[in-house]
């Protein structure tokens, strides 16, 4: 069973529908016991980092996520959910994330040319770093496959966590991973067959990465 975390922020039902389309049992929950019983966790998110982080902490779900991730349970953050995996964000002030992946979330306007629109919205190609093996999250994905983005901030990981990037006037982080923890800046549930294949690969990931 895959548990989608419901903390008042996120595109829950299209994500649930996508997982059901690939034959995966899935539930949406904000109950710690249900989350602990699930085999995999997905943390979705849309909106502002500070508000989302506050909602996670007020509900106590931040501690549940940290505990389950520490046990080795596969965890996937999507869009804002990916950004929440990081140490901090500078979106409307300085806010603290879950600290599961080292790095900081920053405005894309600080790195892209001024003539490009913010947010970065639409279909963009995925590219994989050439100095490492392709991550299992992309077992069914090819370099150049396109996925759907909507974001004004990007995560800048410290260390080897970057597993995919996209080009939008600069190389922007598209996906990150550290052992059992993964994150996608794009929306796989809005990315057609490519997105479904990424969700399928996540569902096949073990706990021994």
Catalytic residue list contains 187? yes
- Give the model's pLDDT for residue 63: 97
Quick one: what percent of the chain has pLDDT higher than 90?
94
State how far the alpha carbon of 207 is from the alpha carbons of 23, 78, 163, 172, in Å.
Answer: 20, 19, 18, 27
Of the listed 79, 182, 184, 203, which one is catalytic? 79
Structure tokens at 203: 């569902």
Note whether 154 and 185 are within 8 A (CB): yes
Q: What is the pLDDT of residues 9-54, one digit of tens each?
A: 877 999 999 999 999 999 999 999 999 999 999 999 989 999 999 9
The edge-to-edge listing of strands for the beta sheet with 153-157 is 95-96, 86-89, 101-107, 153-157
Tell me which of 7-11, 60-64, 89-93, 143-147 is least confident: 7-11
Quick one: what percent of the chain has pLDDT higher than 70?
99
Distance CA 83, CA 86 (A): 6
Distance CA 45, CA 42 (A): 10
Protein fold of 2-204: Rossmann fold (3.40.50)
Mean pLDDT, rounded, of the chain: 95
Instruction: Work out the pLDDT band at 59, boundaries 50, 70, 90.
Output: very high
DSSP sequence for 79-114? THHHHTTEEEE-TTS-EE---SEEEEEEEGGGTS-T
Query: What pTM does this model have?
Result: 0.96
Q: Is pLDDT at 186 greater than 90 in this prediction? A: yes
> Where in the chain are the domains?
2-204
- Give the model's pLDDT for residue 9: 81
Catalytic residue list contains 79? yes
Distance CA 150, CA 93 (A): 21
Of the listed 95, 135, 151, 187, which one is catalytic? 187
Catalytic residue list contains 133? no
């Amino acid at each position: 069973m895959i548990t989608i975390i419901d903390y008042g922020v996120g595109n829950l039902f299209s994500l649930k529908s996508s997982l059901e389309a690939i034959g995966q049992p899935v539930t949406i929950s904000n109950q710690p016991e249900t989350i602990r019983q699930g085999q995999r966790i997905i943390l979705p998110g849309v909106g502002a980092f500070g508000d989302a982080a506050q909602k996670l902490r007020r509900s106590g779900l931040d501690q549940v996520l940290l505990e389950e991730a520490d046990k080795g349970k596969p965890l996937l953050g999507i869009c804002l959910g990916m950004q929440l995996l990081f140490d901090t964000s500078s979106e409307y002030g300085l806010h603290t994330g879950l600290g599961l992946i080292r790095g900081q979330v920053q405005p894309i306007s600080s790195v892209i040319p001024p003539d490009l629109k913010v947010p970065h919205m639409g279909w963009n190609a995925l590219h994989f770093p050439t100095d490492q093996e392709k991550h299992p999250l992309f077992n069914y994905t090819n370099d150049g496959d396109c996925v759907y983005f909507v974001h004004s901030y990007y995560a800048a990981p410290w260390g080897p966590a970057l597993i995919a990037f996209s080009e939008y006037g600069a190389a922007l982080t598209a996906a990150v991973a550290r052992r059992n923890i993964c994150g996608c800046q794009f929306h796989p549930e809005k990315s057609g067959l490519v997105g479904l294949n990424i969700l399928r690969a996540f569902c096949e990931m073990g706990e021994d990465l």
